[in-house]
Structure 1
Amino acid sequence: MDKKIVYFLCTGNSCRSQMAEGFGKEILGETWDVYSAGVEAHGLNPRAIEMMNEKGIDITNQSSSIIDKEILNRSDLVITLCGDAKDRCPTIPANVQTTHWDLPDPAKAEGTEEEISLEFRSVRDEIEKRIKSLAEN
């Protein structure tokens, strides 16, 4: 059986969608091909890499890229992770299921190093929870 395709989208493809791609490959990899992209490409956020390492998932080989219309059109499920991506995403074909997870951008977190790390962990853990739930359906 062919794998389904899930495409995680956010603004810069640096944090949320990268973490979602990492969890997706780890949790859904048997049955899904997992991709991520952004409306823009901002590069991988070093703190996202660090936070995923805490979960034993290495995302250093992932790359930050802009939305690929070919992947978008072949996707079975597109998940937007922020309002910006939802609003600025190219038209998604009607046959592609879409879901929106409105998650705060941890890259915009302010405060001490610990407070910023807490925001990253909070968003990371929410993404993990939602992907585990997706795997159960």
Structure 2
Amino acid sequence: MKRVMFVCKKNSARSQMAEAFAKRLGKDKISVTSSGLEGSQVNPYAIQAMSDIGIDISDQTSKALSDFQPQDFDVVISLCGCGINLPPEWLTQEVFEDWQLEDPAEKPEIFPQVRDDIQERVGNLIDKLSS
């Protein structure tokens, strides 16, 4: 089972949504968590965007990347272009991707669009890791 880390700057929106989709779509296929370069709290707009499609992330918490060890993960996905700021040991995992998704916290009206993009990308990632 592949171990996946979704990372973003604050672990408040994009990485939280990716974690939730991966847990749902990759159940029994991958192990997943998310973190941020710095911890914060889950954005209420992210909670609402996910609730709108029947996924509850209100119990998820923001976690700092420094609380994890890179060797514990096979796959590292940056959602915000923050890959350039990750410590080098996080960039050398079996799979590293930087999706560079727009920050919906800057424009809350794009939360549904970003959410849907994340769902598609997570589905594609799980398919790739499962084959």
Q: Same fold, TM exceeding 0.5?
A: yes
Would the alpha carbon gap of residues 8 and 121 (structure 1) be closer, same or farther in structure 2, given more than 3 Å must change? same
| C-alpha separation in 2, matches of 1:19 and 1:89 | 20
Supply the RMSD in Å over aligned alpha carbons. Answer: 1.3
Residue 84 of structure 2 is aligned to residue 87 of structure 1:
yes
Query: Pairwise mapping of residues 1-137 of structure 1 onto structure 2 (< 5 A)?
Result: 3-67=1-65, 68-70=67-69, 72-83=70-81, 85-91=82-88, 92=90, 94-109=92-107, 116-117=108-109, 119-137=110-128
Spell out, residue by residue over 1:1-40, the C-alpha distance to the aligned partner (whole angstroms, 9 max, x if none).
Answer: xx21110000000000000001010001211111000001
What TM-score do you get using the length of structure 2 for normalisation? Answer: 0.90
TM-score, normalised relative to structure 1 = 0.86
Q: Which amino acid aligns with 1:134?
A: L
Whichever residue aligns with residue 69 of structure 1, its letter is F
- Runs of 4+ in structure 1 deviating by more than 4 angstroms, as ranges, are none
Unpaired runs of 5+ in structure 2? none
The structure having more radius of gyration, on CA atoms, is 1
Q: Provide the secondary structure at the position in 2 that maps to 1:107.
A: coil
Q: CA deviation at 1:95?
A: 4.1
Deviation of 1:41 after TM superposition, in Å, equals: 1.2
